[in-house]
Amino acid sequence: METSVIIITIGFFIFCGHFLSGVFERRSIPDVLGLMFLGILLGPVFHIVNPDSFGQFGSLFSNFVLVFILFESGTDLKISEVRKSFKDSAGITTIGFLFTTITISILCNQIFHLSWVTSLFIGSALGGTSSAVVVGLVKKVDVQPKTSTTLIIESAETDVFTLAIPLAILGLMVSGDFSVKTLISQFITSLILAIVFGVLGALFWAFILNKLPTLKATKFSTPAFLFLLYGLSEYLGYSGPLTALTFGIVIGNLSYFEPKILRKIVPNQRIVLPEEERAFFSEIVFLLRTFFFVFIGISIRINRMDWLLLGALITFIVYLVRIIVVKLVISSETPVLDRAVMSFMIPKGLGAAVIATLPVQQGHPDGAIIQSICFAVILSSTVYCVLFFFLVKTGFSMPFYRLVYGRRKREAKK
């Protein structure tokens, strides 16, 4: 492909990303749908781009996206907010993740005849929700502030589960040695080492920024240090992605820890990640996710329609299970509309997509089918979420939800 064509293509993708983002704001349609369908047209439909032509760049790009998205997700996860909403969100987050993971794992094992460890990897990678889709849609429907906060916190909290657990399982998948004891010990070890390395790295970087004023004015110094930390973590045999996530969480919450242990070590912490630098990271992530979701669409295997349709079937069953989870966990005092929104607000997003590419990079024999299943579930879950959103917003599906959840006690008395 000629250089001029490549440059035109890049500009076209960036324009599409901003255009679809604007459509998302006005029409409440997630831009990821348009980006993925654009990729499907370029790849599986018209065969303009072949995913195999990316070669090593595809693996490098996935890791590049992973580092930035994990760091930004970590900085957005505020410990103080999580503590305030913990009681309300803990139930739906934990039970929802467990039910989704177990459901997908069983279905993958029975339908695709994958091993239990591989099925658990897929289930745990798809057990969370997409913050990008949830945050945008929940603002477009008239639910209580408590409900919207719970859903947003759930989407943030599940990032920890959907990253830590599958990354721990991936090591077992590659080694081929699987046992419950090994799974638990390796998960705990990976989590602890990643947390320690990420925390120490964040404190060390905060200390450097406060000692070297010239670095404070730069925008690329923090990403450069993040890459060094990620690479060093991988080189030492730790989990680079988990280290990046932990680094982001600590950097984003330094002021929270300051009164306890950091006041003397890292003074004047508010300048570590100022608002303009957060905006810079957001723009970087926006560009990367634009290309990455197009890449997902290109990588979807339409020639294996059975995988695509079975992925859609698995997603539909997950949505049915979610209705049960909401009925079990959420109080009957919550309005039916709120419970209805909570029952379908489970789209899968970028984190799951990036995690899904790791087995292929590691050379796992089931890497292709793992990636295809995950991509199919991400696509279908977003389509279902948008569809159910419009059905609820127009009131068409509300009789069904009233039948399932019943009226609130206060409404019944009236």
Tens-digit pLDDT profile for residues 299-338: 776 667 888 899 999 999 999 999 999 999 988 888 999 9
**What single DSSP character describes residue 362?**
T
- Say which amino acid occupies 362: Q
Q: How confident is the model at residue 183 (pLDDT cuts 50, 70, 90)?
A: low
pLDDT of residue 232: 86
Q: Which two tokens stand for residue 303?
A: 């020639």
Q: How much is the pLDDT for 97? A: 93
CA angle 95, 380, 291 (to 5 degrees): 105
- Mean pLDDT, residues 205-222: 76
pLDDT beyond 80 at 107: yes
Q: How far apart are CA 355 and CA 85, in angstroms?
A: 27
Question: Considering only 74-78, 149-153, 324-328, 395-399, which range has the smallest mean pLDDT?
Answer: 74-78
* Per-residue pLDDT reduced to its tens digit, 50-80: 766 665 565 677 677 767 777 876 777 677 6
Residue 404 has pLDDT above 60, yes or no: yes
Tokens of 308: 């695509």
Average pLDDT over residues 185-200: 75
Output the pLDDT for position 100. Answer: 96
Give the closest residue to 103 by CA, choosing from 309, 352, 320: 320
Confidence check: pLDDT of 412 > 50: no
**Most confidently modeled range among 45-54, 168-177, 207-216, 353-362:** 353-362
The pLDDT assigned to 8 comes to 76
Q: How far apart are CA 53 and CA 299, in angstroms?
A: 11
Widest pairwise Cα distance in the chain: 71
Per-residue pLDDT band for 263 (boundaries 50, 70, 90) equals: low
Overall average pLDDT of the 171-183 stretch: 65
- pLDDT at res. 96: 92
2: buried, middle or exposed (CB in 10 Å: 19+, 13-18, 0-12)? exposed
Over 60: is that where the pLDDT of 201 sits?
Answer: yes
Residue that wins the pLDDT comparison between 413 and 318: 318
**Of residues 166 and 413, which shows the higher confidence score?**
166
DSSP assignment letter at 347 = -
Is the pLDDT score of 414 beyond 50? no
Handedness of CA 250, 253, 254, 259 (dihedral sign): negative
On the CB side of 406, how many CA atoms lie within 13 Å of its CA?
Answer: 10
Give me 126's structure tokens. Answer: 């798809």
Does position 295 have pLDDT exceeding 90, yes or no?
no
Q: 3-class DSSP state for residue 104?
A: helix
pLDDT tens, position by position, 219-262 = 778 888 988 998 888 777 676 777 887 788 788 777 776 545 55
Of residues 183 and 248, more confidently modeled: 248
Token couple for 347: 């789209």
When the pLDDT of each residue in the chain is averaged and rounded to a whole number, the result is 79
Which of the four pLDDT bands, split at 50, 70 and 90, describes residue 288? confident
Kindly state the average pLDDT of the residues 370-383. 90
- Are the beta carbons of 233 and 196 closer than 8 angstroms? no
Looking at residue 176, what DSSP letter applies?
Answer: -
Least reliable range by pLDDT among 143-152, 253-262, 336-345: 253-262
In this model, does residue 123 exceed pLDDT 60? yes
Q: Kindly report the pTM of this predicted structure.
A: 0.71
